[in-house]
């Protein structure tokens, strides 16, 4: 973490900013913040995400409409945001210089420069500490970074919230982030499909291990009948995990030939469980995709792994 980052940025004519597939608000906010910052600096920048559907309620973020699902630059520097592994970026970045800006404990340091700090609550916090050394923070940048922060900390309620984090939030507000506007957009613009799929998912709720583990299952019919997309289903596992007796919650979502599994816990570190099944993430929030369509069988495997 030195002038190295700035020198690499200066040495490239074009820059491609990218975040993980099925992006959340931290992925989108961090990448849009860096996009603004480098645009202001006068660089030629593009912003891409491999997923064709993005969380629409984030359209209030400056430059949201600039996010494309295809890359135009062929020899650009890659800046990857909030992404623990190369395959989660979706694009083929072999032979490209990558600056890897992230906070996942499971990050496998795939960049030429790796700015990875798992003790920080959001990727935007990592980006801010690095970028503010070289570039001015504008209101647009602050709005994007602040949105990323409140989303990844679930409004300052996660384990990694500390005194310094509030200083970071305060600085962003001073730079022009508007907390009221951000929370309105994050909380009061839910899609109907997300409520409908939540209701269907909760009707499948099962409790295991003395009601300390909760599971919900979402099949293809539920998705088709509600019109829900991936970002409509993001918070469902958190609802299951909020039950008083529950320590671990599991959501299984059938996606074609795969089942996408989200894991949440109140205290237990689940990273090793996610990694065992080929995934990754944070200790209390992680997941994986598994090649099967049999939810029962996969749930049994996960429960077994949790009990070892
Ligand atoms: Mn994040």
Task: Kindly list the domain boundaries of the chain, sorted by start residue.
Answer: 4-187, 192-306
Place of tokens 């491609």: 16
Question: Region 93-99: what's the mean pLDDT?
Answer: 95
Residue 60 DSSP symbol: G
User: For residue 297, how far is its CA from the centre of ligand 1 (angstroms)?
Assistant: 30
User: For residue 211, how far is its CA from the centre of ligand 1 (angstroms)?
Assistant: 29
User: For residue 165, how far is its CA from the centre of ligand 1 (angstroms)?
Assistant: 14
**Which of 194, 187, 189, 197 minimizes the C-alpha distance to 220?**
197
User: For residue 26, how far is its CA from the centre of ligand 1 (angstroms)?
Assistant: 5
User: For residue 118, how far is its CA from the centre of ligand 1 (angstroms)?
Assistant: 10
How far is residue 206's CA from residue 59's CA, in Å, rounded to a whole number?
35
Both structure tokens of 88: 């989660």
Q: Is the pLDDT of residue 244 over 90?
A: yes
User: For residue 40, how far is its CA from the centre of ligand 1 (angstroms)?
Assistant: 24
How far is residue 84's CA from residue 75's CA, in Å, rounded to a whole number?
23
Within 10 angstroms of residue 129's Cβ, the number of other Cβ atoms is 15
pLDDT band at 159 (very low <50, low <70, confident <90, very high): confident
User: For residue 303, how far is its CA from the centre of ligand 1 (angstroms)?
Assistant: 26
- CB neighbours of 132 closer than 8 A, spacing ≥ 6? none
User: For residue 30, how far is its CA from the centre of ligand 1 (angstroms)?
Assistant: 9
User: For residue 74, how far is its CA from the centre of ligand 1 (angstroms)?
Assistant: 27
3-class DSSP assignment, residue 295: helix
Question: Region 47-65: what's the mean pLDDT?
Answer: 95
Report which of residues 226 and 308 the model is more confident about.
Answer: 226
Both structure tokens of 84: 């623990």
User: For residue 291, how far is its CA from the centre of ligand 1 (angstroms)?
Assistant: 25
How far is residue 70's CA from residue 47's CA, in Å, rounded to a whole number?
9
pLDDT band at 308 (very low <50, low <70, confident <90, very high): confident
User: For residue 287, how far is its CA from the centre of ligand 1 (angstroms)?
Assistant: 13
Question: Buried b vs exposed e over 2-33: b needs ≥16 C-beta within 10 Å?
Answer: eeebeebbeebeebbbbbbbbbbbbbbbbbbb
Question: Region 274-287: what's the mean pLDDT?
Answer: 95
- Give the pLDDT score at 231: 87
pTM, two decimals, is: 0.92
pLDDT band at 86 (very low <50, low <70, confident <90, very high): very high
User: For residue 110, how far is its CA from the centre of ligand 1 (angstroms)?
Assistant: 17
User: For residue 221, how far is its CA from the centre of ligand 1 (angstroms)?
Assistant: 30
Q: Is the pLDDT of residue 305 over 60?
A: yes
User: For residue 18, how far is its CA from the centre of ligand 1 (angstroms)?
Assistant: 13
User: For residue 6, how far is its CA from the centre of ligand 1 (angstroms)?
Assistant: 23
Q: Is the pLDDT of residue 2 over 80?
A: no
User: For residue 144, how far is its CA from the centre of ligand 1 (angstroms)?
Assistant: 13
Both structure tokens of 5: 């980052």
103-152 pLDDT tens trace: 999 999 999 999 999 999 999 999 999 999 999 999 999 999 999 999 99
How far is residue 255's CA from residue 175's CA, in Å, rounded to a whole number?
41
Identical fold between 4-187 and 192-306: no
**What angle do helix axes 163-175 and 139-152 make, rounded to 10 degrees?**
150
User: For residue 160, how far is its CA from the centre of ligand 1 (angstroms)?
Assistant: 12
Q: What is the mean pLDDT of the chain?
A: 96
User: For residue 276, how far is its CA from the centre of ligand 1 (angstroms)?
Assistant: 21
Distance of CA 182 to the CA centre of its chain: 17
Q: Is the pLDDT of residue 1 over 80?
A: no
pLDDT band at 268 (very low <50, low <70, confident <90, very high): very high
Identify the CATH number of the domain defined by range 4-187: 3.90.1640.10
What is 192-306's CATH topology? Diaminopimelate Epimerase; Chain A, domain 1 (3.10.310)
User: For residue 122, how far is its CA from the centre of ligand 1 (angstroms)?
Assistant: 5
Q: Is the pLDDT of residue 207 over 70?
A: yes
- Give the pLDDT score at 240: 98
**Which of 102, 52, 35, 44 minimizes the C-alpha distance to 72?**
44
User: For residue 31, how far is its CA from the centre of ligand 1 (angstroms)?
Assistant: 11
Report which of residues 158 and 275 the model is more confident about.
Answer: 275
């Amino acid at each position: 973490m030195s002038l190295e980052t700035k020198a690499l940025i200066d040495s490239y004519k074009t820059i491609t900013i990218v975040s993980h597939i099925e992006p959340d608000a931290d992925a989108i906010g961090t990448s849009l913040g860096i996009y603004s910052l480098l645009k202001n600096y006068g660089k030629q920048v593009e912003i891409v995400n491999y997923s064709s559907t993005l969380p629409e309620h984030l359209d209030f973020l400056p430059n949201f409409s600039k996010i494309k699902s295809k890359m135009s630059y062929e020899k650009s520097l890659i800046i990857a945001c909030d992404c623990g592994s190369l395959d989660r970026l979706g694009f083929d970045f072999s032979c490209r210089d990558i600056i890897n800006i992230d906070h996942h404990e499971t990050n496998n340091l795939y960049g030429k420069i790796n700015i990875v700090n798992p003790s920080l609550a959001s990727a935007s916090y990592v980006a801010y500490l690095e970028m503010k050394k070289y570039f001015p923070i504008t209101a647009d940048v602050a709005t994007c970074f602040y949105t990323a922060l409140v989303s990844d900390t679930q409004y300052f309620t996660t384990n990694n919230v500390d005194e310094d984090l509030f200083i970071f939030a305060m600085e962003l507000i001073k730079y022009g982030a508007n907390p009221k506007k951000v929370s309105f957009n994050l909380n009061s613009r839910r899609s109907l499909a997300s409520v409908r799929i939540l209701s269907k998912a909760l009707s499948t709720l099962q409790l295991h291990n003395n009601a300390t583990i909760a599971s919900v299952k979402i099949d293809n019919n539920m998705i088709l009948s509600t019109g829900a997309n991936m970002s409509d289903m993001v918070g469902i596992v958190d609802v299951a995990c909020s039950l008083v007796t529950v320590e671990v919650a599991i959501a299984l979502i059938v996606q074609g030939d795969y089942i996408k599994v989200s894991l949440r816990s109140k205290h237990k570190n689940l990273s090793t469980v996610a990694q065992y099944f080929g995934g990754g993430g944070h200790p209390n929030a992680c997941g994986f995709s598994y090649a099967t369509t049999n939810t029962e069988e996969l749930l049994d495997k996960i429960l077994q792994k949790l009990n070892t």
